[in-house]
Amino acid sequence: MQLSWLEQQFINDYQRDFPLCSEPFKALAAQYNVEETEVLTAVKKLADTGILSRLGPVFDHKKAGASTLVAMAVPDKQLDKIAGIVNQFTQVNHNYAREHTYNLWFVVTDKDMISLNKTLNTIEEKTGLPLLILPMEASYHIDLSFKVDFNDIQTVIEKPAKHKEVIA
């Protein structure tokens, strides 16, 4: 898949520090010297193709409420079904299948410990499977943003002449 200049810029520029304003896509359009609809189209394409899996804030979970890592041992034939049930909960994020006895891992975040425990109990009831609750004992910040060299990945679509150079 070939990515446009705008899509590439967005990937490299906004793995962090997304504009915090009432019209962030308009701010991005001004930065890139394009129309807001072009930015929205680029972000939608990245999301639709799975290149962009999430666009949203990362919160300090201790300030945002309560959270925990959860693992489940799901029979392989039921993995998609159980993952679908788990994914119905707005409190669930970072849900991944793993090659292990505990093959479904996800994070549950809620407003407080009481609500978190209710959500965990409901997930257990709806899936019919026990949960392995793995609360965080220590917090570490790992910056997972990185600059992508698209020249090594694909043939780059040349940037249109109307786009100004963006230096990060």
Return the half-sphere exposure (C-beta side, CA atoms, 13 A cut-off) of residue 131.
24
Q: What is the pLDDT of residue 157?
A: 44
Number of domains in the chain: 2
Q: Which domain holds residue 19?
A: 5-56+146-153
Residue 118 lies in a domain: yes
Q: What is the pLDDT of residue 95?
A: 86
Residues 6+ apart with CB under 8 A from 123: 70, 85, 86, 89, 92, 108, 131
Does residue 101 sit in the same domain as residue 67? yes
Does residue 69 sit in the same domain as residue 126? yes
As a whole number, mean pLDDT of residues 106-128 equals: 96
| Lowest mean pLDDT segment, chosen from 34-48, 79-93, 119-133, 150-164 | 150-164
Q: What is the pTM of this model?
A: 0.58
Residue 128 pLDDT more than 50?
yes
Does residue 47 sit in the same domain as residue 67? no
Residue 159 pLDDT more than 50?
no
As a whole number, mean pLDDT of residues 142-149 equals: 78
Residue 42 lies in a domain: yes
Does residue 47 sit in the same domain as residue 72? no
Does residue 79 sit in the same domain as residue 113? yes
Residue 155 pLDDT more than 60?
no
Token pair in block for residue 112: 């407080």
pLDDT in tens, 2-58: 899 999 999 999 988 899 999 999 999 999 999 999 999 999 999 998 888 788 777
Q: What angle do CA 23, 19, 167 make, to 5 degrees?
A: 120
Residue 156 pLDDT more than 60?
no
pLDDT in tens, 66-86: 999 999 999 999 999 999 999
Does residue 25 sit in the same domain as residue 69? no
Does residue 78 sit in the same domain as residue 95? yes
